[in-house]
Chains A and B, each alone.
Chain A
């Protein structure tokens, strides 16, 4: 449940309660019409009192909750898990009061694929039927895709090989190696350390530097359609 609605519930319940009290005091006034004389204090207290008390209460509640709200939201977001984007490296300072944003799954897809499409036309390329064209024509187009996508990927992720040595060189795989970083192939038996030859140096990213998302929460647009107005 969202904190905002808790706050709302408190306010509504209290309003209902004070409305009932007001009805009661209204009834008293009905039976003791002499209180209605503006000179007498009973009339003022019974008539306006409950409403005034509620107004003060409501103001206190809403001012209290303002300071707490973002933390509460962040806690809840954390509890839900999974849906939250990884914290960005290096504060941009764009966040308002440290409030974490909730990223739907789609945003990560839209951001990365949208970037590759925008900078290198990747989706156009993959979705096009390239059968009818000769290699030279495809090659020419690939230059553009390659240049744009490569620059975009390197800018956003900072790609690096997992193993720094060139492919083909002999390396020693240490005892406490991380199998998610190094995959052993071929004649694998026994326990590390192993000696082997690098067949593929792997890829890793050194940072995630995607733009900050300020758009809609739900979107399925990777690249908008373009209509030229003449």
Chain B
């Protein structure tokens, strides 16, 4: 193993609804001991005004207190003497009572192309006296909370600040180049310095590898295809990992990642809660916001019970009275097995054929500003589409969709055994006629695996344990206006020039000499930046004429060309260069060989 760069290796799971920080103390280990232990950092957070408690999960919610609440003084933390922003458990509870002061789902906004992600837009319907923040600032706020909590507690005792440690942050595999870039920016603005990104499904798999130790080699064999199904609070993420062998050594490669899906455990609970609240309404009992929150919480608990115990037919659900009249105001109802089966199993995990595709909702011209939730709630159909996609099936032997031989689950939703079994049985039905039936890989903690896996990845970077070969998960393009005669009334045709092929690994540089641009120095230039999950065969320099079906716009790339010593107005010839940074982000530049100049292009997230 290489010499560690810092005493602690830290993994941070930046989840849509919960964040977790885990760490490995490199001093507590010796060279020949088995893999060192991964600890979860107990993160202090406000439990109620005037009370601070440590929890392993830091809920990803920010509450912006009113002036009176700030003056009350109960919201101060040692690092936030004025209680300006409350992060964690109480923020979630309090924010449900005062929605106009709550920032939530920052992560989903971070990858939403329809909004300016650097502009202060959250909370969406903010109270007039609330200072809004951008999704990037919100993300930085969670990280800053971890940093301050660490530096005041464990870090202080050990004399080790978090910003001096090796930090790995996880992101959904489906995050595009821009969202990855913004996550790194958030970490920098939180003062964490250089961090490295890791995809969540990979992190979950690393956590499994950590638990298995050397045993993992007995559990998989060359030719195996492992599917990671990661359903968080707000997002679903799929990845395929292939096992291969060369010279009696096993290799792991992440083949493909799914599209970004805003569909998670919270949607399931919310749908069930709506079902019950509508039922109550038809009986003449209308719920206010507070009661709805209570119902939501109790429906979740009732659902877990029903999914756990197949003999239960129904579970009582109680909404306690609103005021001090607890007993008198209590509303009783029940959640039945039928409802759970209909809403959760049929609605979110229906049995389907491998050829079934998710239903697309017709997009209306006027779309409300809000998160683009998945139109079809069926996780299994999204899975079918993923396994059918070019990205998944390319590079595999044989024709047709990629059928996994092993499945690893992640996310609190899968605590319900029934849901894991449903996915396994659906995949088994797809694997019919194949030599092998898929097996489930067991042993990881569904809530903490991603964070633990990120810390384990830190060890892998030091040379301990196997590394999953991954690289950039999709290919990226630059839009070029074609030089054909313009047709009046028609927008000019745009062609896509491939600059980053799928699978390009960290540290690699690609030059595209095929296309030379003449650039006017002193003027701003702008490129359309496009991405695709469906064209794994494209190589750098390829020009694609008809791309609208398979390639989609991601962002705009911009730079103001100011070159020292070059007269403004001069035209200089440049070519494109793409680089995958060690951090896991993309850097695209314009290079002038003659003049030895390089201009970095910036992502423009102002939609």
Binding site for B on A (CB under 8 A): 91-94, 96, 111, 114, 118, 121, 124-125, 127-128, 130, 132-133, 136-138, 140-141, 143-145, 147, 209-216, 219
Q: Which residues of B contact A211 (CB under 8 A)?
A: 47-48, 51-53
Do B74 and A138 touch across chains, with their CB atoms under 8 A apart? no
Does B546 count as interface, using CB distance less than 8 angstroms? no
Q: Which residues of A contact B50 (CB under 8 A)?
A: 213-216, 219
Which of the 9-residue segments B236-244, B313-321, B476-484, B550-558 touches chain A? B313-321
Does B156 count as interface, using CB distance less than 8 angstroms? yes
Minimum CB–CB distance for B381 against chain A, Å: 36
Do B51 and A93 touch across chains, with their CB atoms under 8 A apart? no
In the A-B complex, the 9 residue pairs with the smallest Cβ-Cβ separation, listed nearest first, are A215-B50, A93-B153, A211-B51, A211-B53, A124-B326, A211-B47, A141-B327, A141-B330, A212-B52
Does B114 count as interface, using CB distance less than 8 angstroms? no
B115-157 CB mask vs A (1 if < 8 Å, else 0) is 0000000000000000000000000000000000000111011
Q: Which residues of A contact B54 (CB under 8 A)?
A: 92
Do A128 and B51 touch across chains, with their CB atoms under 8 A apart? no
Does B44 count as interface, using CB distance less than 8 angstroms? yes
Do A93 and B316 touch across chains, with their CB atoms under 8 A apart? no
Minimum CB–CB distance for A30 against chain B, Å: 51
Among A114, A128, A133, A214, the one with the most B-chain Cβ atoms within 10 Å of its Cβ is A214
Q: List 24 A-B contacts (CB under 8 A).
A: A91-B157, A92-B52, A93-B153, A93-B156, A94-B52, A94-B78, A121-B320, A124-B321, A125-B326, A128-B324, A128-B325, A128-B327, A132-B328, A137-B327, A138-B327, A140-B318, A140-B330, A211-B52, A211-B53, A212-B53, A214-B51, A214-B52, A216-B73, A219-B50
A-B pair number, CB within 8 angstroms = 93
Interface residues on B, range: 20 to 34
Do B157 and A212 touch across chains, with their CB atoms under 8 A apart? no
Do B51 and A213 touch across chains, with their CB atoms under 8 A apart? yes
Q: Which residues of A contact B191 (CB under 8 A)?
A: none
Binding site for A on B (CB under 8 A): 44, 47-54, 73-74, 76-78, 152-154, 156-157, 298, 301, 316, 318, 320-321, 324-328, 330, 332
A130 to B316, CA, bound (A): 21
Q: Select from chain A the residue with minimum beta-carbon distance to B288.
A: A228
A136 to B73, CA, bound (A): 43
Other than the given A121-B320, A212-B51, A214-B52, 16 more pairs (CB < 8 A) read A92-B153, A93-B156, A121-B326, A124-B326, A127-B324, A128-B328, A130-B327, A132-B328, A137-B328, A144-B298, A145-B326, A209-B53, A214-B50, A214-B77, A216-B74, A219-B50
Minimum CB–CB distance for B69 against chain A, Å: 11
CB < 8 Å: which of B49, B152, B326 contacts A141?
A: B326
A189 to B332, CA, bound (A): 53
Q: Select from chain B the residue with minimum beta-carbon distance to A138.
A: B327
Minimum CB–CB distance for A147 against chain B, Å: 8
CB < 8 Å: which of A93, A125, A219 contacts B154?
A: A93
Q: Which residues of B contact A124 (CB under 8 A)?
A: 321, 324-326
Q: Select from chain A the residue with minimum beta-carbon distance to B83.
A: A214
Q: Which residues of B contact A144 (CB under 8 A)?
A: 298, 318, 320, 326, 330
Q: Which residues of B contact A138 (CB under 8 A)?
A: 327
Do B44 and A212 touch across chains, with their CB atoms under 8 A apart? yes
Q: Select from chain B the residue with minimum beta-carbon distance to A223.
A: B324
Q: Select from chain A the residue with minimum beta-carbon distance to B157.
A: A93
Do B51 and A111 touch across chains, with their CB atoms under 8 A apart? yes
Do A214 and B76 touch across chains, with their CB atoms under 8 A apart? yes
Minimum CB–CB distance for A17 against chain B, Å: 37
Minimum CB–CB distance for A211 against chain B, Å: 4
Q: Which residues of B contact A213 (CB under 8 A)?
A: 50-52
Minimum CB–CB distance for A96 against chain B, Å: 7
A128 to B322, CA, bound (A): 13
Q: Which residues of A contact B326 (CB under 8 A)?
A: 121, 124-125, 128, 141, 144-145
Q: Which residues of A contact B325 (CB under 8 A)?
A: 124, 128
Q: Which residues of B contact A210 (CB under 8 A)?
A: 51, 53
Q: Which residues of A contact B44 (CB under 8 A)?
A: 92, 94, 212
Minimum CB–CB distance for B155 against chain A, Å: 8
Do A215 and B73 touch across chains, with their CB atoms under 8 A apart? yes
Q: Select from chain A the residue with minimum beta-carbon distance to B152.
A: A93
Minimum CB–CB distance for A85 against chain B, Å: 13
Q: Select from chain B the residue with minimum beta-carbon distance to A114.
A: B48
A216 to B330, CA, bound (A): 33
A94 to B43, CA, bound (A): 11
Q: Which residues of B contact A125 (CB under 8 A)?
A: 326-327
A215 to B53, CA, bound (A): 13
Minimum CB–CB distance for B287 against chain A, Å: 14
Minimum CB–CB distance for A215 against chain B, Å: 2
Q: Which residues of B contact A214 (CB under 8 A)?
A: 50-52, 74, 76-77
Minimum CB–CB distance for B55 against chain A, Å: 10
Do A137 and B153 touch across chains, with their CB atoms under 8 A apart? no
Q: Select from chain A the residue with minimum beta-carbon distance to B326.
A: A124
Q: Which residues of A contact B51 (CB under 8 A)?
A: 111, 210-215
A36 to B74, CA, bound (A): 58
Minimum CB–CB distance for B264 against chain A, Å: 24
Q: Which residues of A contact B327 (CB under 8 A)?
A: 125, 128, 130, 133, 137-138, 141
Q: Select from chain A the residue with minimum beta-carbon distance to B97.
A: A226
Minimum CB–CB distance for A209 against chain B, Å: 8
Given contacts A124-B326, A132-B328, A219-B50, contact A140 B73 (CB under 8 A): no
A121 to B324, CA, bound (A): 9
Minimum CB–CB distance for B525 against chain A, Å: 51
Among A121, A125, A140, the one with the most B-chain Cβ atoms within 10 Å of its Cβ is A140
Q: Which residues of B contact A136 (CB under 8 A)?
A: 332
Do A141 and B157 touch across chains, with their CB atoms under 8 A apart? no
Minimum CB–CB distance for A89 against chain B, Å: 11
Q: Which residues of A contact B154 (CB under 8 A)?
A: 93
Q: Which residues of B contact A92 (CB under 8 A)?
A: 44, 52, 54, 153
